[in-house]
């Protein structure tokens, strides 16, 4: 067996044994819990709290046969070695309650319930007011545990029928719900207090938490219940569109296809633009996480929030908190079963149209190039087809037959139908959480099987996670999180080039079959003169490209509390990733990078990241007006990466594939590489508030990285923020309209260390270093790149001003921010004089500015007893501009294909090319001749009027970055049903469909889009496409705006209908909760873009982080339309 597979199998077996051991250690103390007498001491608690404490100390579980309305904290007792029955008898007799025990389950109920059920009803009236005595209109008033209810009128009054001893429940948006026991009184005055729960909500920030109302930075948050509204296989899909200022582009529909996340635009040209992902305090990859395991996701956007991460914070920070064990023992299972369908097909030529276009091309060649035509340069298609008739004697494939005196194609293949399919996906998650005294535990298991809409593409993922939190004593707490994920993926080729499968679906000729009767594949060569794309089914069947990844993540912490308000936490985290990416081109196909012969290769890589952080935290309140939190931290991080690659040609049998790399006839030179870097950091944060309304946050971080030159390895990144809770001032406190008003402002600096590990050093290389000595080729080693010891950090300064507003007790809430980000010392491989012997050097070349406005508006539009309607609108604008470049602010024309440009005053990633003013007409023949053109040729604008078309006529055509984007979500609830509708929008970007150059503007060698049926002819001179001719006669390969499209769109992103089974039915089924959902994603798209989807793939997967390659479309994996059924069961 392959040693790599043996190693992976051993690693898997080791992980399985490890998780089994953890599970045994967790379950053992629970199943061995004491069954007899217990000791208990409580003071001033309510009944439910007492029952929870009894459950912790025994194997008893309580159920309530009727609702326990007793919330009085009047129970105080201290007992030693008493049975549970004895304790209950002491307590329940005083409250008019009784209990029944069956095995280990005890049911609590009110005494003599039959008398209650037969008791007469009476009319109960009252008035509901706020804390100022003003009536509340439309408050819900109901009898708890029944269907009886009403709402208050314009004066706050209500009236309903109830039984003495029942409980009235009063609720209204923006106020805390209130319960009133019905006594012998008939009228009640009920005063409701403001609900501050939303403002008291705790938000996770860097190395800590803060109350939402005390937050001075720009932070967006998504909770688990919101994420589960739409089924998804990744966290990025779950949070897409939910946070202003965060643009998540779904630029690939393949299973496991990662999404591009950009927070407040692009901060770099050549260094990474990816946010920093923090998972339970440790950097990691969120795409390998199970979305069902997530408790919350916070996105840190401004410098006040991100500066605490220093050199890793310039692109924003996404902090993921996973679920952990809780007090109550809970088993949860949820599943999603999905049908994936093809959302859009492109309109391509069928067999008849393909042949008609081929005839038209030949006819046009005669007019365009009469000399070449006369010399036989072009072959008459009608003559060529005679060689492919049924029964031909020339050894050609049989592609045509005679029917009615004319040639008719035998095949008419729609390659999109052949390649695409309706597919099924499934997600299963199972979790066990609970507590055994001072130990909280959680076990989370997940399985995903996602079948792609393109045949043979699929993803399978197994995940497991264990959490343990142990309170050892009142001063020491220990905890750990261990997770393992295995991903098996079968990918199809979407790289730029002939082997791109989506491109093959469009350009493969329709007159050749998938397979002939003899079992051989149909090929482009089977019909003479064809080039470009080949049989896509042969590509996916015979060119196998799996991707296997094994990720182990773990962290452990110890928290020591020295005194009240002073604690120290030390955490160590490990992230180990092992990837295997093999490739096999079988003996049945010669499609391998355009070269014949079978081939196998295997790429193995592994990485190890270790992080150790130490945090000292101090909290205090003094003089009842001053609140102070001081955090001091130190962090050390190391990262190493190793990769090796082996490739062989000429394998004798498909049996071996990549499992036996010695089975080939030719072994290509293997390669390997190793990189590693380290970082050392010190940081601090001070949060101060005065009178709970004047807020100050100051942070600073000092980072040192081995990536940079010796003189610039260390840098300091400070930030400061101010906030004012104006709604707590006397002039606004208690205001009926404005319930929350908090302006805030921040400024700070972050850095970007996302460059190659040895970017500042001169590297040794063997590439191009072979020389002949004595007739023998000898490999040598030489300098492969120039050193730049002055290479320094990219630094981003960010100013943010924000406003948090709440109206009508948070019935309407708004959070708005305006920001300016200015990045200096941008890193780029800049060109150097050829006399240096090198092409470029890594250097700091210029500055860039991002600015924008963003807001999130939440409204409760309608709230009645049984129906509610709420809305959420988020909006983000973005303006990007290059403000300085080195070398006298000279333009830098970028790849791919010199299509984008860096120019001072323009957006990064601006498209750079020619303007097309239509097509030369017959009445413009003389003018066209000046430029060497004929009627029917593309008419490019002579920008500088020098009577020639050359590079000097190129201009900026547009940009791939949108002006603004966002989502609009509406949630409707009726009784136990809820309906969520999400719309996504984007406006102001352009899409450059580079693939159009081969599938529409180049003819005679492949199939085309049907738009070529409307090209220029003498009778159709208003057409936008030039006259079609053989590619060897004329092919306009210049990048012009004929391929540029409006990238704006509106998408029906998600619609989800959910139903929660009523609690009384769940109890009868011995369930805690049951929820079922029906949902659909990617329902519709309104767009002018004729390609697969306006959220395009980038030019190449290897340039995904490059800002200047955004919205350049070749042929990407199409996105599916998905219909899902989901069920969530809690035991």
User: pLDDT tens digit string along 202-252?
Assistant: 788 888 888 888 888 899 988 888 887 777 777 888 888 889 989 888 778
The model's confidence at residue 559, banded by pLDDT at 50, 70 and 90, is: very high
Distance CA 196, CA 183 (A): 30
Any idea how long the chain is?
1131
CATH class name, domain 37-112:
alpha beta
The pLDDT score that the predictor gives to residue 23 is 40
Q: What pLDDT score was predicted for residue 11?
A: 46
Domain with CATH 2.60.40.1120 in the chain: 119-195
Query: Which two tokens mark 689?
Result: 């508030």
Task: Tell me if residue 383 falls in helix, strand or coil.
Answer: helix
pLDDT in tens, 934-954: 999 999 999 999 999 999 999
Domain 213-327: CATH superfamily, name plus number? TonB-dependent receptor, plug domain (2.170.130.10)
pLDDT band at 1107, cuts 50/70/90? low
Give the CA distances from residue 158 to residues 69, 120, 136, 188, 316, in Å, rounded to whole numbers and listed in that order: 21, 20, 11, 10, 51
Decide: helix, strand or coil at residue 905. Answer: coil
- What is the rounded CA–CA span in Å between residue 202 and residue 219? 12
195-199, 224-228, 652-656: which has the minimum mean pLDDT? 195-199
* Mean pLDDT within 349-378: 88
Please report how many Cα atoms fall inside a 13 Å half-sphere around the Cα of residue 248, on the Cβ side: 21
Chain-centroid distance, C-alpha 715: 31
Per-residue pLDDT at 151 exceeds 90: no
Mean pLDDT of 122-139: 82
DSSP string computed for 684-718: EEEEEEETTTEEEEEEEEEEEETTS-GGGSEEEEE
**pLDDT score at 777:** 67
- Would you say the pTM of this structure is higher than 0.85? no
pLDDT at residue 69 in the model:
57
Q: Which of 417-431, 664-678, 963-977 is the least confident region?
A: 664-678
Identity of the highest mean pLDDT range in 108-117, 199-208, 326-335, 504-513: 504-513
* 10 vs 109, higher pLDDT: 109
- For 836, half-sphere exposure in the C-beta direction (CA atoms, 13 angstrom radius) is 12
| Mean pLDDT, residues 466-486 | 94
Quick one: pLDDT at residue 887? 66
User: Which residues of the chain form CATH 3.55.50.30?
Assistant: 37-112
Pinpoint the residues of the chain covered by CATH 2.170.130.10: 213-327
Closest of 84, 27, 78 to residue 55, by C-alpha: 84
Count of alpha carbons within 13 angstroms of residue 960, beta-carbon side = 27
pLDDT at 161: 86
Percentage of the chain modeled with pLDDT above 90: 45
Q: Is the peptide bond before 943 cis (omega within 30 degrees of 0)?
A: no
Strand ranges inside 542-598, DSSP E: 543-544, 546-563, 566-585
771 — pLDDT class (breaks 50, 70, 90): low
pLDDT at 834: 67
Q: Which residues are within 8 A (CB) of 328 and not within 5 positions of it... i.e. 6 or more apart?
A: 52, 433, 434, 435
Residues 68-87 have pLDDT tens digits of 556 677 788 888 778 888 88
Averaged pLDDT, 526-537: 87
pLDDT at residue 256, as a whole number: 78
Pick the closest to residue 699 from 633, 744, 753 (CA basis). 633
**Helix/strand/coil for 92:** helix
- Residue 223 or residue 720, greater confidence: 720
Q: How crowded is the C-beta side of 645, counted as CA atoms within 13 Å?
A: 10
The CATH architecture that domain 119-195 belongs to is Sandwich (2.60)
**CA angle 269–271–274, rounded 5-degree value:** 100
Per-chain mean pLDDT for the chain: 84
What is the tens place of the pLDDT at every residue in 886-934? 766 778 877 656 788 889 999 988 999 999 999 999 999 999 999 999 9
Q: What is the pLDDT of residues 777-806, one digit of tens each?
A: 677 776 766 777 777 778 999 999 999 999
Burial 282-307 (b: 16+ CB within 10 A, else e): bbbebbbbbbbbbebbbbbbbbbbbb
Q: Which residue has the higher pLDDT, 202 or 265?
A: 265
Rg of the chain (C-alpha set): 34
Q: Which two three-digit tokens encode residue 875?
A: 């909006």
pLDDT in tens, 1082-1106: 999 999 999 999 987 555 544 444 5
- CA distance linking residue 91 with residue 100, whole number of Å: 14
Q: What is the mean pLDDT of residues 1045-1070?
A: 92
Whose structure tokens read 């076990």? 443
Residue-wise pLDDT for 39-73, tens only, equals 888 887 888 888 888 887 787 877 664 445 566 77
Percent over 70 (pLDDT), the chain: 87
E strand residue ranges, 975-1032: 977-987, 990-993
């Amino acid at each position: 067996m392959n040693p790599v597979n043996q190693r992976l199998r051993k690693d898997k077996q080791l992980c399985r044994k490890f998780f089994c051991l953890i599970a045994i250690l967790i379950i053992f103390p629970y199943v061995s819990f004491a069954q007899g007498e217990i000791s208990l001491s409580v003071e001033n608690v309510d009944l439910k709290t007492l029952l929870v404490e009894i459950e912790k100390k025994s194997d008893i579980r309580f159920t309530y046969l009727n609702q326990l309305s007793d919330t009085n904290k009047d129970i105080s007792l201290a007992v030693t070695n008493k049975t549970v029955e004895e304790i209950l008898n002491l307590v329940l007799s005083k409250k008019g309650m009784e209990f029944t025990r069956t095995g280990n389950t005890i049911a609590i109920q009110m005494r003599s319930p039959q008398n209650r059920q037969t008791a007469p009803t009476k009319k109960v009236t009252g008035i509901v007011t706020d804390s100022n005595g003003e009536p509340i209109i439309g408050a819900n008033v109901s009898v708890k545990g029944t269907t009886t209810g009403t709402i208050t009128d314009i004066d706050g009054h209500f009236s309903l029928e109830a039984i003495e001893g029942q409980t009235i429940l009063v609720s209204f948006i923006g106020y805390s719900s209130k319960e009133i026991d019905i006594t012998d009184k008939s009228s009640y005055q009920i005063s409701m207090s403001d609900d501050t729960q939303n403002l008291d909500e705790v938000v996770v920030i860097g190395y800590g938490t803060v109350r939402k109302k005390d937050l001075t930075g720009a932070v967006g948050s998504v909770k688990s219940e919101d994420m589960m509204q739409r089924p998804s296989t990744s966290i990025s899909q779950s949070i897409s569109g939910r946070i202003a200022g965060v643009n998540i582009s779904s630029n690939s529909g393949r299973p496991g296809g990662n999404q591009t996340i950009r927070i407040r635009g692009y901060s770099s040209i050549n260094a990474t633009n990816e946010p920093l992902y923090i998972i339970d305090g440790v950097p990691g990859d969120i795409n390998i996480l199970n979305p069902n395991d997530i408790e919350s996701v916070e996105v840190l956007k401004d410098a006040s929030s991100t500066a605490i991460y220093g050199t890793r914070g310039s692109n924003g920070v996404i902090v993921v908190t996973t679920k952990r064990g809780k007090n109550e023992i809970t088993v949860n299972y949820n599943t999603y079963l999905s049908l994936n369908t093809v959302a859009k097909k492109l309109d391509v030529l069928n067999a008849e149209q393909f042949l008609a276009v081929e005839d038209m091309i030949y006819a046009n060649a005669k007019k365009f190039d009469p000399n070449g035509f006369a010399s036989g340069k072009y072959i008459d298609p009608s003559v060529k087809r005679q060689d492919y008739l049924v029964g031909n004697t020339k050894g050609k494939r049989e592609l045509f037959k005679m029917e009615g005196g004319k040639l008719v194609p035998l095949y008419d293949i729609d390659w999109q139908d052949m390649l695409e399919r309706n597919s099924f996906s499934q997600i299963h998650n199972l979790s066990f959480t609970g507590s055994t005294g001072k130990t909280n535990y959680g076990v989370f298991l997940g399985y995903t099987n996602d079948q792609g809409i393109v045949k043979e593409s699929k993803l399978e993922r197994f995940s497991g996670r264990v959490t343990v939190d142990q309170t050892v004593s009142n001063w020491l707490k220990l905890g750990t999180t261990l997770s393992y994920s295995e991903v098996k993926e079968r990918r199809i080729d979407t790289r730029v080039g002939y082997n791109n499968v989506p491109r093959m679906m469009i350009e493969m000729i329709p007159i050749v079959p998938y397979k002939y009767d003899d079992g051989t594949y149909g090929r482009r060569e089977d019909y003479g003169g064809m080039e470009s794309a080949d049989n896509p089914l042969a590509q996916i069947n015979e060119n196998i490209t799996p991707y296997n990844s094994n990720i182990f993540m773990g962290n452990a912490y110890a928290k020591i509390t020295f005194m009240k308000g002073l604690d120290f936490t030390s955490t160590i985290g490990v992230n180990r990733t092992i990837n295997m990416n093999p490739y096999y081109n079988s003996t049945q196909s010669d499609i391998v990078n355009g070269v014949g012969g079978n081939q196998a290769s295997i790429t193995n890589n592994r990485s190890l990241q270790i992080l150790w952080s130490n945090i000292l935290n101090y909290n205090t309140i003094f003089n009842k007006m001053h609140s102070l939190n001081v955090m001091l931290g130190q962090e050390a991080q190391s990262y190493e990466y190793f990769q090796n690659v082996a490739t062989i040609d000429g394998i004798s049998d498909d049996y071996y594939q990549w499992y036996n790399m010695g089975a080939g006839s030719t072994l290509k030179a293997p390669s390997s590489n190793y990189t590693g870097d380290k970082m050392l950091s010190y940081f601090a944060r001070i949060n101060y508030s005065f009178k709970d309304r004047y807020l100050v946050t100051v942070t600073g971080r000092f980072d040192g990285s081995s990536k940079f030159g010796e003189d610039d390895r260390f840098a300091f990144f400070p930030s400061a923020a101010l906030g004012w809770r104006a709604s707590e001032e006397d002039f606004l406190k208690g205001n009926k309209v404005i319930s929350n008003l908090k302006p805030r402002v921040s400024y700070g600096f972050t850095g970007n260390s996302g460059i190659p590990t040895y970017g500042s050093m001169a590297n040794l290389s063997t590439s191009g270093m072979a020389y002949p000595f004595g007739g023998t080729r000898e490999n040598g080693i030489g300098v492969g790149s120039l050193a730049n010891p002055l290479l320094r950090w990219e630094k981003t300064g960010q100013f943010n001003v924000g406003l948090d507003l709440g109206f009508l007790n948070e019935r309407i809430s708004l959070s708005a921010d305006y920001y300016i980000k200015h990045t200096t010392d941008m890193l780029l491989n800049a060109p150097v004089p050829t006399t240096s012997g090198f092409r470029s050097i890594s250097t700091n070349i210029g500055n860039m500015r991002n600015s924008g406005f963003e807001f999130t508006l939440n409204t409760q539009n309608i709230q009645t007893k049984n129906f509610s309607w709420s809305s959420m609108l988020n909006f983000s604008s973005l303006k990007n501009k290059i403000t300085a470049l080195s070398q006298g602010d000279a333009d830098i024309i970028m790849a791919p294909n010199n299509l984008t440009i860096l120019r001072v005053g323009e957006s990064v990633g601006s498209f750079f090319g020619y303007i097309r003013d239509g097509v030369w007409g017959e009445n413009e023949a003389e003018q066209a001749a000046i430029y060497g053109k004929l009627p029917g040729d593309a008419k490019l604008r002579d920008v500088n009027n020098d009577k020639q078309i050359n590079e000097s006529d190129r201009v900026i055509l547009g940009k791939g970055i949108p002006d603004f984007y966002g989502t609009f979500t509406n949630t409707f609830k009726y009784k136990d049903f809820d309906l969520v509708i999400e719309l996504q929008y984007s406006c102001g970007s352009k899409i450059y469909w580079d693939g159009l150059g081969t599938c529409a503007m180049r003819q005679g060698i492949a199939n085309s889009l049907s738009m070529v049926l409307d090209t220029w002819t003498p009778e159709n001179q208003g057409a936008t496409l030039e006259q079609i001719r053989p590619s060897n006669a004329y092919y306009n390969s210049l990048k012009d705006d004929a391929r540029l499209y409006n990238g704006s769109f509106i998408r029906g992103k998600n619609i989800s209908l959910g139903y929660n089974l009523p609690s009384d039915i769940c109890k009868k089924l011995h369930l805690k909760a049951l929820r079922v959902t029906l949902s659909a994603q990617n329902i519709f798209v309104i767009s002018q873009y004729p390609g697969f989807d306006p959220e395009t793939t980038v030019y190449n997967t290897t340039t995904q982080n490059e800002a200047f390659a955004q919205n350049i479309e070749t042929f990407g994996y199409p996105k599916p339309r998905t219909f899902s059924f989901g069920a969530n069961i809690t035991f």
